């Protein structure tokens, strides 16, 4: 959830660090800081607030030195203040560290160090850790870090430098992503690839329990016990343009408009039209293993949990397999019933979500087979599951997920189609679903072409204090997602409900100030949803209808109507969610909110 970048090489480090932090700010934006070894010691600059605050501080006095570390913070321990900003230093101010994660036993370590005469200047667990490293330091930063990490509990991605060893960065990872960038005569450490792309596409992914030691002459990987580890160098497939805004006002808007392409990239190469099925060999499940499954558990958080709910409808309807959707944060704490005939699917855009990773590990311990649906190649979940599907949606920088959601639903459709064709779905039904999947990118573009209409609609509801999103069947999860998008980025309180449940509580909230968004494609419950619209209209609520056709009856009931193309009923959430994403975006912009970096949120949640 925090951004980490480090550099050692022949060039001035500070500019590289600041530019890297700019590309990492989506991972944390409460405060930022850098530390550079300048020949006379450590030079540290940090500031609370956005990265721009640090840049202003550096404008007239950039630190000099060719080795350094930088950090953008998303607060866990301690408020977002300058004293709590990273980097932090040890008692003698000779060692600096940046940290993503939580040291769970920091309290007891702090007490021990205070008894030994240490004094602390922040509320963070990170400062406790670097003091512990300083306590163990006897001339080797590498060994001091390894010794200290054997004493701590928790999750971390870390990078250390020391003025006593001005050519060394020591990095370590446990439960928080970290990778080494391999350039020509220079080396990098980062929490993801985005700050490295203008310098190198060659990276080495660290696994839990591993350390990287970077010098001007090269790098090596080891564990905490000193064993050297040989790891492959991977090539990043996407380029720098993919993490630039490309003329759009915000990353979120860019990523919404990328969905025709990102969705097709998810489907590309997986559809076998003649056979009416999908090719998903990455699942590493044989036909016989699929047939023997008794049930499926899908585990995820946030937006990914909403896509999982849609996957439940798909898998049960098409493949007739019982499916349960679990919040990943609850899964491992409730003694879940899974065994070798259970398939556990973990969904995470980043592939690093701490709760989802923990749920997958728990499922594997209980004998279940696991697959992952992730967007980031080389991520921890991708490496630890038995098989899976990469979304290939491209990097998603906006904190509020958009294109990853539609790609997740498409990937779940591929899984459902494969399983269903092996169990009970006819070839004609399979071909029909494939036809509708192939049409989706063009249908999304049709909706995006109507963005000015949705922008005008948002202008009418920008001052609403609350909003209700209602859908039935497979569009109930889409209603949840629409509500989440609005509250994430506009700070308007919004809730999603099954439309028929409105009368069991939420109807008490409806008045002339309450917009109610209905997702009502022309499916089996269409007429039922129209009756729910009548109930809202009778109480003065403002109805916004997302339908396949703005007919006379809908226009009579709705204050605003948005028509979307017709598709297969199970695929309709991929289309109904697009106007909801745009609506949330335009409302947030009109309210002056920071769309790409909404308050209190971060892109990749790597702590519980």
Q: What is the per-residue pLDDT across 215-272, written as a single tens digit (0 to 9) for each? A: 999 999 999 998 999 999 999 877 666 677 778 899 999 999 999 999 999 999 899 9
> In the prediction, which pLDDT does 240 show?
67
Q: Are strands 493-498 and 154-162 parallel, antiparallel or unpaired?
A: unpaired
Listed in order, strand segments (DSSP E) in 314-473 are 323-327, 342-348, 369-374, 387-390, 466-471
For residue 608, pLDDT beyond 60: no
Q: What is the per-residue pLDDT across 358-402, written as a single tens digit (0 to 9) for each? A: 999 999 999 999 999 999 888 889 999 999 999 999 888 888 999
What residues contact 386, with CB distance under 8 A and at least 6 apart?
A: 284, 364, 369, 370, 371
> Per the residue annotation, which of 254, 485, 487, 603 is the catalytic one?
603
| Rounded alpha-carbon distances, angstroms, from residue 362 to 165, 367, 535 | 41, 9, 45
pTM of the model: 0.81
> In the prediction, which pLDDT does 334 show?
85
Catalytic: 254?
A: no
Token match 């866990």: residue? 76
Can you list the pairs that 12-17 forms with residues at least 24 positions away whose Cβ atoms lie under 8 Å?
12/62, 12/64, 12/65, 12/66, 13/63, 13/65, 13/66, 13/67, 13/68, 14/58, 14/62, 14/63, 14/64, 14/65, 14/68, 15/62, 16/199, 17/68, 17/69, 17/70
The Cα 428–Cα 277 span in angstroms is: 10
Burial track 498-512 (b if 16+ CB lie within 10 A, e otherwise): bbeebeeebbebbee
Catalytic: 2?
A: yes
Distance of alpha carbon 65 from the chain centroid: 34
Task: Tell me the domains of the chain and their CATH numbers.
Answer: 3-239 (3.60.20.10), 251-449 (3.40.50.10490), 452-590 (3.40.50.10490)
What Rg do the C-alpha atoms of the chain give, in angstroms? 25
Which three-class secondary structure state does DSSP give residue 277? strand
Confidence class of residue 508 from pLDDT cuts 50, 70 and 90? confident
Asked if residue 507 lies in contact with residue 556, where contact means CB atoms within 8 angstroms, the answer is no
> Per the residue annotation, which of 2, 301, 561, 593 is the catalytic one?
2
> In the prediction, which pLDDT does 69 show?
97
């Amino acid at each position: 959830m925090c951004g980490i970048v480090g550099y050692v090489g022949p060039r001035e480090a500070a500019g590289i660090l600041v530019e890297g932090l700019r590309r990492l700010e989506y991972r944390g934006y409460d405060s930022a800081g850098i530390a550079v070894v300048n020949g006379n010691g450590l030079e540290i600059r940090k500031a609370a607030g956005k990265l721009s605050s640090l840049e202003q501080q550096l404008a007239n006095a950039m630190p000099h030195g060719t080795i350094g570390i930088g950090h953008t913070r998303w607060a866990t321990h301690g408020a977002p203040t300058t004293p709590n900003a990273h980097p932090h230093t040890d008692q003698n101010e000779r060692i600096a560290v940046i940290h993503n994660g939580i040291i769970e036993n920091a309290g007891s370590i702090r007490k021990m160090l205070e008894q030994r005469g240490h004094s602390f200047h922040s509320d963070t667990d990170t400062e406790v850790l670097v003091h512990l490293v300083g306590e163990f330091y006897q001339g080797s930063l590498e060994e001091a870090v390894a010794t200290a990490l054997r004493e701590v509990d928790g999750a971390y991605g870390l990078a250390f430098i020391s003025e006593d060893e001005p050519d060394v960065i020591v990095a370590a990872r446990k439960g928080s992503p970290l990778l080494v960038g391999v350039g020509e005569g220079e080396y990098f450490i980062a929490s993801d690839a985005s700050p490295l792309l203008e310098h190198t596409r060659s990276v080495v992914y660290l696994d839990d329990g591993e350390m990287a030691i970077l010098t001007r002459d090269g790098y090596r990987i080891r564990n905490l016990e000193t064993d050297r580890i040989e790891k492959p160098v991977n090539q990043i497939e996407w380029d720098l343009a993919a993490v630039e805004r490309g003329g759009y006002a915000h990353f979120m808007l860019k990523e919404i408009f990328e969905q025709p392409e990102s969705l097709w990239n998810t489907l590309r190469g997986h559809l076998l039209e003649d056979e009416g099925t999908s090719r998903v060999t990455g699942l590493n499940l044989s036909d016989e293993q699929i047939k023997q499954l008794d049930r499926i558990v899908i585990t995820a958080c946030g937006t990914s949990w909403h896509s999982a709910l849609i996957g439940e409808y798909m898998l049960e309807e098409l493949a007739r397999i019982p499916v349960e959707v679990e919040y990943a944060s609850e899964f491992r704490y409730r003694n879940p019933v899974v065994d070798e005939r259970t398939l556990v699917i973990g969904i995470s855009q980043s592939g690093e979500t701490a709760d989802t990773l923990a749920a997958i590990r728990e499922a594997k311990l209980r004998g279940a087979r696991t697959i992952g649906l992730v967007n980031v190649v080389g991520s921890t979940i991708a490496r630890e599951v038995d098989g899976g599907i990469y979304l290939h949606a491209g990097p998603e920088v906006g904190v509020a997920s958009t294109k990853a959601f539609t790609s997740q639903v498409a990937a779940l459709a591929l899984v459902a189609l494969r399983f269903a064709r092996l169990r009970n779905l006819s070839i004609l039904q399979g071909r029909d679903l494939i036809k509708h999947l192939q049409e989706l990118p063009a249908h999304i573009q049709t909706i995006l072409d109507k963005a000015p209409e949705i922008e005008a609609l948002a202008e009418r509801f920008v001052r609403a204090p609350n909003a209700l999103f209602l859908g039935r069947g497979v569009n109930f999860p889409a209603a949840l997602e629409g509500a989440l998008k609005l509250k994430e980025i506009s700070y308007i309180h919004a809730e999603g409900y099954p439309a028929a449940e409105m009368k069991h509580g939420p109807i008490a909230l409806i008045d002339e100030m309450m917009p109610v968004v209905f997702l009502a494609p022309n499916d089996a419950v269409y007429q039922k949803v129209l009756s729910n619209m009548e109930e809202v209209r009778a109480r003065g609520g403002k109805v916004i209808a997302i339908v396949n056709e703005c007919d006379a009856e809908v226009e009579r009931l709705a204050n605003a109507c948005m028509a979307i193309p017709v598709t297969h009923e199970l695929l309709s959430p991929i289309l109904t969610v697009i106007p909801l994403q745009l609506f949330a975006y335009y409302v947030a912009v009109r309210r002056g909110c920071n769309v790409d970096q909404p308050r209190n949120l971060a892109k990749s949640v790597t702590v519980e």
